[in-house]
Each structure stands twice: as C-alpha cells, then as structure tokens.
Amino acid sequence: MTESSPILSVDRPLVVGKAHAESVVEHDTAWTRLIYVYLACATLWLVVGTLIGLYLSIKFLAPDVDHVPWLSFGRLRPVHTNTVFWGWTSLAMIALVLYVVPKTNQRRLYSFPLAWASLALINLAVIIGGLCLMAGINNGGQEYREYIWPVMAIFAAGVILIAYNLIRTIADRGVEEIYISNWYIMGGFLWTSVLITISYLPFYQQNGISETIIQGYYMHNAVGMWFTPIMLGLTYYFLPKLLNKPIYSYSLGVLAFWTQMVFYTMIGAHHFVFAPTPWWLQTVAIIFSVGMVVTLAAGTGNFLLTMKGSGRTIARSYSLPFILAGVISYFLWSAQGTLEALRSLNLVWHFTNYTVAHSHLTMYGFVVFLLWGGIYGLIPRMTGREPSHLLAGVHFWFALLGYFIYTFALMVGGTLQGMSWILEAPFIQSVRLMEPFWLLRAVGGTMMFLAHLIFAYNLWRMRPLRAKREMPATQMEALA
Amino acid sequence: MSFHKNHWLLFSVIFFGYIALSWIVAIGPAIWVQDHAHALPGAKPLTPIERRGLQVYVAEGCIACHTQQVRPLKMDAVWGRPSAPGDYAYVKPLDIWHPYAPAVLGSERTGPDLTSIGARQPSEIWQYLHLYNPRSVSPDSIMPAFPWLFKVVAKPPADALVVPLPPTYAPPSGTVVATDKAKDLVAYLLSLKQVPLQVACGSGAK
Ligand code: HEM
Ligand code: HEM
C-alpha cells in the first residue's frame, strides 16, 4: 500500500482511524470534577465486582480453591451482584444523569453538596453491604435484596437525595418543555424510591409465599424500573447528540415510556412461574411480558431509525459502536426474556444457567455497553482529554467477544441442563455436563475482566487536568 | 394534558401511578396470600434449634444454589409432590435484621432441590460428612465445603459429635467434631420433609 486511505491509516493499518472528539464544550470545572469522581468510584466497583465474578466462575471448576468463610461461594455471589448493581452500574448511570439533566434543562445542577453527599452514601452502602455479606450478615432475601435494611436505607437515602436534586433542577428549567430523557430518568428515580420502600417494609411479607410475591416484584423492577428506564433516557440524549441529528420520533419515545411504566411493573411474577404463588398473578405477568414487545419495538425502532444512514459516523467514532451494540442487545435480550416467561419454554430454562446468561446479556450487553458509549462520548468533551483510540477498540472487542463466549456457553449449557432434568437423568448429570460450559464462561469472563482494566486505564487517560482556573459563576451562566 | 410542560403533573402521575400498580401486582396479592395460606395439617413450626439452623442456611447463602419448591411438572416429581402455599406458612421472619420471611424458594438449581432433603438423606452422619466436604460423599459435586462449621480437636470429649471422615478428606492430625452451628444446620435440613396434602373433600375454604 503506497497511498494512504482516509480510513485505514498507514501507521495503524489494522484499525479504523477514529474521529477525535470535538473541542471541550463544558467549562464548569466543579461539574466536571463531580461527574469524573462519580465515574472513578463506579469504575473501581466495576473492577472489584467483576474480579469477584471471575473468582466465582473459577469456583464452579475448582470448588476447593479456598476454604475461607468470607470467600465462600454462597456469601460471595451476592457481593458480586450487589457491587456491580449498586456500585458500578448505578453510580456510572448517576454520573451521566448528573450531566444530562442539567444540560437538557439548561440549568446548573440544583445542589453540588447534595450530589457529593449522595455519592458518599452510595459508596458507604456498597462498602458496608459487601463486608456484611461476606461476614454472613444478609437479610435472607434473594437476588439484589441481600443487603440488610439499614444498609439499603443508606443506599435509598442516596437515591432519594439525587431525585430531589434533579426535581429541583428540572422545576427551575430554562426551557419550556421537559425533554423526553428527563421523563425516563425521573421515572427511574421515583419508581426506585418507591420500589425499595415497598420491598423493604415487612408487613406483608410474613410468610414464605407472600415474601416470594414481593421478591418477584422487586427482582424485576430493580432491573426494569431502575437500570432500564434511566439507560433509555440517557440514550435519548447521547444518541442524537453524538450523531448530531434529532431523534427519529419523539412520540414513539413517549409511547414506549408509558408502556414501560404500565407493562414492566406487572411482570415480576414471571420469576416464579410454576411456583405456588397465585396462578392468575403468573398469568398476568406472562401476558404483560409479551406486551413488553411493544415497548421494545418502539424504543429500539426509534434508536435504529435515528442511526439509519449514519453508518460512517458510527464506524469513525469510538463511543457510538458501544451504543449500537447496547441498543441491539436491549431488543434481542429483552425479547429473550419474553420467551423465558412463556410456560412452555420456562419449564426448560427456569432454574438453569440459561437465566444467568440472560442476566448478563441484558445487564452487560444492554446496560453496561450503553454506559460505556455514554462515558466515551461525554468525558472527552468535558475534560478535553481523549482515551487511547486503539485501546478503546480493544476494550470494545474484548468486552463483546468475552460476553458472547460467556453467555452463549451458558445458553447452550443451560438448555442441556433443562433437557437433562426433563429426561429425568440423575441430578448430578446436569452438574457434570456443565463443566465445559463453565470453563468457557471463565474464559469469556477473563476477557471481560481484561476489558474492564483497559477501560479503567482509558478513564484515567481522560482525567481532568488540575491546573485549570475555576470560572466565575456569572460567566458560567452566560455560557449556559 | 401537558405532561411536556407541567413537571408536577408528570411526576405525580409517574409516582402515584406506580404505587397504584404496585398495589395491584405486589402488595395486594401478598396481603391476600398472607391471610389465606394456612399451615397444612401435620406441619409443625420450626423448633428453636431448627430455626437457628435456618439462620445458618441463610447466612451461608445456601439459597444461591438450592431451591425449595417443587413445581407441578413431571420432571420435578423426583423432589416430591408439588409445593402448596401452606408448605411455607411456617417460614417466618427470623429477627430484627430479617423482618421478612427468608426467601427459601430460591431461583436457581445449581444443586438439587431441598424440599424433602430430610426424607431423601435422613442420615445425620451423611449430612455432616457432606457439609465438611461434599466431595467426600459425592465426588462430582461442586458445592463449597464448610469446614468452619467444624472443629479439629486432638482428643474429642465424650459428648462430641465426631465426623467419621475417610482418610483422603480427614485433616493430617486430630479428629473433626461438629460445632453447634453444624448441629443446628443439620437439624434444620433433617426437618425439611413434605407433609401429605390431604385433599379435604367438601371443605374448599380453610
Ligand atoms: C468479568 C465479568 C463477570 C463475570 C466473570 C461474572 C460471573 C458471574 C458468576 C460466576 C455469577 C454466578 C452465577 C451462578 O450462580 O450460577 C454471576 C451472577 C450474576 N452476575 Fe456476573 N459476572 C461478570 C460481570 C457482571 C456484570 C458487569 C454484571 C452487571 C452489571 C453482572 C451481573 C450479574 C447478575 C445479575 C448475576 C445473577 C444472575 C442470576 O441470578 O441469574 N455480572 N456472575
Ligand atoms: C421485555 C423485557 C424482559 C422480560 C419479559 C424478561 C423476562 C425475564 C424472565 C422471565 C426472567 C426469569 C427467568 C427464570 O428465572 O426462569 C428474567 C430474569 C432476569 N432478567 Fe429479564 N426480562 C426482560 C428484560 C430484562 C432487562 C432489560 C434486564 C436488565 C436490565 C433483565 C435482567 C434480568 C435479570 C438480572 C434476571 C435474573 C433474575 C434472577 O436472578 O433470577 N431482564 N427476565
């Protein structure tokens, strides 16, 4: 090759040259610092939480790798899930929210001290919660409700303070209309405040089955009314912004919003299909699980139609590929959830590793990929410092391939597990047959973990430089 | 209606609408079940030692891998008869840190269902061996070992519960005896047995 192509550069022939971020657009250093510190904490939890995940995946292959009570599988598993949920995903999401809400409302964030307080509270909850779980102090709950109530109260306080902070910001907005992102984001905060309260109040959970009903409601609403709406709201900002064009249809976004609220709230009972919970409740959950296809189609269609014709921009960006992967994942793997809710398929997949595959396909493929897209899209514009383009690409491919290996192995393995139970083979058969799939999970998990280390390095590369003077608030206002 | 312009309207509908939906689909049914699920005739509440055992079961996170629910499906028949709401009437809150019933139903079957483990493996000794190291009785098991529920002593006192480990799993010196926690847990596991579902003819309610 003698001529240099505009895309394949000579010095890096294997990778597509990526466009540089436009120059710095934000000059409020206090704001930059707040968001960056949120992300730094979040990323620390990502590395810690997935290191634990990786260690857990090794325990499936070598159960005697340690005999330390604090590291025992049953105690450590909830440390993994709660750390990535409340430490990594929640904090990273809030960081982006703290940008998008003031930006779309053309107001400075109502209170910076309150936002710092929320950060401290949430970090505190994750630290105390993790230590308690390892010490064997949990609330006897199931997935994502394992923190005892005083710890969850700390977390809830953090969330409620942010909700208040955002409401005040929106109430004082400098534009007349409330942009759709804010609907989803405020939905997420208000719903989650209610959700945690309802799920931690004891009055109606005094026996095994009533507790199970609340657990199903909680489990699904934690992912469906916290992570999902806020990530969608953020995408309604970042996608058009990064593509530099308006969202395809505003009303599709509104339709998806209301169906999200009504349908998603109803489907918790599908976690206990065939359990001795009321049969009608399970049927309602299954019907609304099918109804969710409307929400999915409206949301995904809107995003994909916005991206249509921008293939080149996406290929030349290091943030948009994450967003594209996240949007496709949202559709595919939520639709997979609809299938899992159907009784005929649930009987094959329920209780198997297939569910674990679904958890990671959605939480990782959808939520975490969109987060990375938003972070790579935003931070260079705030700090003026870019990540290594090459490493951002390596991050993308390691995370994508790693999670494909992880989840496809478990989908195949989980299906075989279900078949082996249906054929009424001895139980241990379903443990033996999983071994190669658990090995593949550990391989995929290692790639994912490496991707997280690269991401942490990239975040450090994007750090704000200290030697900047603060701009007087009055000048700030003029710029806003 | 101007959801786009009136944030109080928008946020109130979001907030109260969600509370209303939550009543329909969670709180309401939970209250109904709580008032209508009666213990089956023949079922007994947990004894104090079994309750402490349940506490160990919860603390060690056994729930992460074991279910306690038998579905009305042919493939689940190996675990017992289909579970009924009344089977869980005696699953009660443990203490101030656990003000709700522990979630014993579970959601993943990495290990076998334990609804009837007390009937399936009634031997205390089997249970102790299995908890000390599952591989000592089930070579392909991937369940964690719980050696911290046991003590290694040079000379077991007369009333100690000695765990007769095969040489491969025994510590190099000393004898393994069960601590109170192990005894509690085994008492709980052995209490897990289904009581027969009597089809009470003519009395649909109650
Ligand atoms: C290096 C990356 C990761 C590895 C190796 C990993 C590994 C694991 C393992 C071994 C389990 C236990 C599965 C079982 O009990 O059968 C698990 C559960 C789980 N992990 Fe991860 N994980 C990783 C990253 C993540 C991330 C980033 C998230 C979310 C943002 C996540 C969310 C979950 C959830 C929700 C569960 C519970 C699954 C269920 O109950 O169905 N994981 N993970
Ligand atoms: C249309 C949307 C969705 C439907 C109908 C759906 C359906 C389901 C069903 C039926 C299960 C239970 C599987 C079983 O136990 O057999 C499940 C589990 C799960 N789903 Fe979804 N899903 C949807 C979207 C999502 C999204 C967007 C996320 C994440 C943001 C998610 C995260 C999870 C997780 C973490 C679990 C595992 C819960 C556990 O620990 O048992 N799902 N889903």
| B204 vs B67: which has the higher pLDDT | B67
Say whether both B78 and B139 belong to one domain.
yes
Contacts of B32 in chain A (CB under 8 A): 278
CB contact under 8 A, B64 and A186: no
Count CB-CB contacts under 10 A for residue B32. Answer: 15
Write down the pLDDT at residue B205. 39
Look up residue B72 and give its DSSP letter: S
CB contact under 8 A, A206 and B100: yes
Is the residue at B144 inside a domain?
yes
Indicate if ligand 2 lies below 6 Å from the C-beta of A458: no
Q: Calculate how close chain B gets to A71, using CA atoms only, in Å.
A: 10
CB contact under 8 A, A268 and B25: yes
Only one residue has tokens 């290692």, namely A446
Q: Calculate how close chain A gets to B79, using CA atoms only, in Å.
A: 11
Picking from A73, A276, A278, the nearest residue to B64 by CB comes out as A73
Stated as kind and residue range, the H or E segment containing B153 is strand B150-153
CA distances from B89 to A169, A207, A295, B55, B197 (A): 48, 5, 38, 17, 14
Say whether both B31 and B52 belong to one domain.
no
CB contact under 8 A, A178 and B135: no
Quick check: A250 contacting B, CB < 8 Å?
A: no
CB contact under 8 A, A74 and B75: no
CB contact under 8 A, B75 and A422: yes
CB contact under 8 A, A209 and B85: yes
Report how many Cβ contacts below 8 Å link chain A to chain B: 246
Write down the pLDDT at residue A19. 79
Q: What is the pLDDT of residues B42-64, one digit of tens each?
A: 899 999 999 999 999 999 999 99
Quick check: A176 contacting B, CB < 8 Å?
A: yes
Share of chain A above pLDDT 70, in %: 93
Q: What is the pLDDT of residues A159-172, one digit of tens each?
A: 999 999 999 999 99
Only one residue has tokens 């499906």, namely B73
Single-letter residue type at A115: A
Cα A198 to Cα A193: distance, rounded to the nearest angstrom: 9
* C-beta separation of B144 from A63 below 8 A: yes
Write down the pLDDT at residue A8. 42
Hey, CA dihedral for A61, A64, A66, A68, is it positive or negative?
positive
Q: Which of A22-26, A323-327, B86-90 has the highest mean pLDDT?
A: A323-327
Cα A97 to Cα A95: distance, rounded to the nearest angstrom: 5
Q: How much is the average pLDDT of A108-123?
A: 97
Residues written for chain A: 480
Q: Calculate how close chain B gets to A196, using CA atoms only, in Å.
A: 12
Residue B5 sits at the vertex; the CA angle it makes with A480 and B9, to the nearest 5 degrees, is: 125
Mutate to test the pocket of ligand 1, among B62, B67, B107, B108 (most ligand atoms within 8 A of CB): B108
Nearest ligand to residue A57 Cα:
1
Q: Calculate how close chain A gets to B157, using CA atoms only, in Å.
A: 26
Say whether both B24 and B96 belong to one domain.
no
CB contact under 8 A, A206 and B34: yes
Report residue A404's pLDDT band, with 50, 70 and 90 as the boundaries. very high
Write down the pLDDT at residue A26. 76
Q: What is the pLDDT of residues A413-460, one digit of tens each?
A: 999 999 999 999 999 999 999 999 999 999 999 999 999 999 999 999
B/e letters for A134-151, b = 16+ CB within 10 Å, e = fewer, are bebbbbbbbbbbbbbbeb
Looking from the CA of residue A355, the nearest atom of ligand 1 is 41
Q: What is the pLDDT of residues B16-32, one digit of tens each?
A: 999 999 999 999 999 99
Residues 6+ apart with CB under 8 A from A304: A327
Q: Calculate how close chain B gets to A457, using CA atoms only, in Å.
A: 33
Write down the pLDDT at residue A475. 46
Domains contained in chain B, number: 2
Residue A200, helix vs strand vs coil? helix
Query: Is pLDDT above 60 for A411?
Result: yes
Q: What is the pLDDT of residues B186-196, one digit of tens each?
A: 999 999 999 98
Is the residue at B121 inside a domain?
yes
Instruction: Give the best residue of B15, B22, B149 to mutate against chain A (max A CB count within 10 A).
Output: B22
Quick check: A57 contacting B, CB < 8 Å?
A: no
Is the residue at B14 inside a domain?
yes
Q: How much is the average pLDDT of B121-130?
A: 96
Query: Is pLDDT above 50 for A123?
Result: yes
Write down the pLDDT at residue B42. 86
Q: Calculate how close chain B gets to A21, using CA atoms only, in Å.
A: 32
Say whether both B86 and B156 belong to one domain.
yes
Enumerate the β-bridge partners of residue B152: B176
Query: Is pLDDT above 90 for A462?
Result: yes
Say whether both B29 and B80 belong to one domain.
no
Write down the pLDDT at residue A479. 44
Closest chain B residue to A349 measured between Cα atoms? B108
Residue nearest to atom 35 of ligand 2 (CA): A359
Picking from A77, A274, A352, the nearest residue to B72 by CB comes out as A274
Write down the pLDDT at residue A16. 59
Looking from the CA of residue A60, the nearest atom of ligand 1 is 10
Share of chain A above pLDDT 90, in %: 89
Query: Is pLDDT above 60 for A9?
Result: no
CA distances from A131 to A52, A136, A453, B186 (A): 13, 9, 23, 26
Stated as kind and residue range, the H or E segment containing A59 is helix A29-59
Quick check: A431 contacting B, CB < 8 Å?
A: yes
Say whether both B100 and B24 belong to one domain.
no
CA R_g for chain A: 22
Q: What is the pLDDT of residues A42-68, one digit of tens each?
A: 999 999 999 999 999 999 999 999 999
Alpha helices by DSSP H, listed for A106-136, are 112-134
Instruction: Give the best residue of B15, B18, B55, B65 to mutate against chain A (max A CB count within 10 A).
Output: B18
Query: Is pLDDT above 90 for A31?
Result: yes
B window 45-104, beta carbon within 8 A of A = 58-65, 67, 69, 71-75, 78, 82-85, 87-94, 97-104
Quick check: A351 contacting B, CB < 8 Å?
A: yes
Query: Domain of B18?
Result: 3-36
* C-beta separation of B188 from B50 below 8 A: yes
CB contact under 8 A, B27 and A204: yes
Report residue A478's pLDDT band, with 50, 70 and 90 as the boundaries. very low
Share of chain B above pLDDT 90, in %: 83
Say whether both B123 and B148 belong to one domain.
yes
Is the residue at B75 inside a domain?
yes
Q: How much is the average pLDDT of A378-401?
A: 95
Instruction: Give the best residue of A210, A271, A272, A343 to mutate against chain B (max B CB count within 10 A).
Output: A210
CB contact under 8 A, A198 and B15: no
Q: What is the pLDDT of residues A227-274, one digit of tens each?
A: 999 999 999 999 999 999 999 999 999 999 999 999 999 999 999 999
Q: Calculate how close chain A gets to B120, using CA atoms only, in Å.
A: 13
Contacts of B67 in chain A (CB under 8 A): 351
CB contact under 8 A, B78 and A176: no
Query: Is pLDDT above 60 for A85?
Result: yes
Query: Is pLDDT above 80 for A469?
Result: no
Is the residue at B65 inside a domain?
yes
Say whether both B18 and B87 belong to one domain.
no
Is the residue at B53 inside a domain?
yes
Picking from B22, B25, B89, the nearest residue to A207 by CB comes out as B89
Say whether both B32 and B133 belong to one domain.
no
Contacts of B84 in chain A (CB under 8 A): 276
Kindly report the CATH number assigned to the domain that includes residue B149.
Answer: 1.10.760.10
Ligand 1 mean position, distance from CA A283 (Å): 28
Q: What is the pLDDT of residues A340-367, one digit of tens each?
A: 999 999 999 999 999 999 999 999 999 9
Enumerate the β-bridge partners of residue A16: A8
Ligand 2 mean position, distance from CA A337 (Å): 5
CB contact under 8 A, A136 and B60: yes
ipTM of the complex: 0.93
Say whether both B11 and B68 belong to one domain.
no
Distance from the Cα of residue B61 to its chain's centroid = 10
Mutate to test the pocket of ligand 1, among A58, A356, A410 (most ligand atoms within 8 A of CB): A356
B1, with CB counted inside 10 A (0-12, 13-18, 19+), is exposed
Write down the pLDDT at residue A15. 56
A351: left (phi over 0), alpha (psi -120 to 50) or beta: left
Query: Is pLDDT above 50 for B109?
Result: yes
Mean per-residue pLDDT of chain A = 92
Quick check: B171 contacting A, CB < 8 Å?
A: no
Largest CA distance in chain A: 76
Is the residue at B114 inside a domain?
yes
Say whether both B96 and B182 belong to one domain.
yes
CA proximity to A351, closest of B27, B206, B205, B64: B64
Say whether both B112 and B73 belong to one domain.
yes
Is the residue at B26 inside a domain?
yes
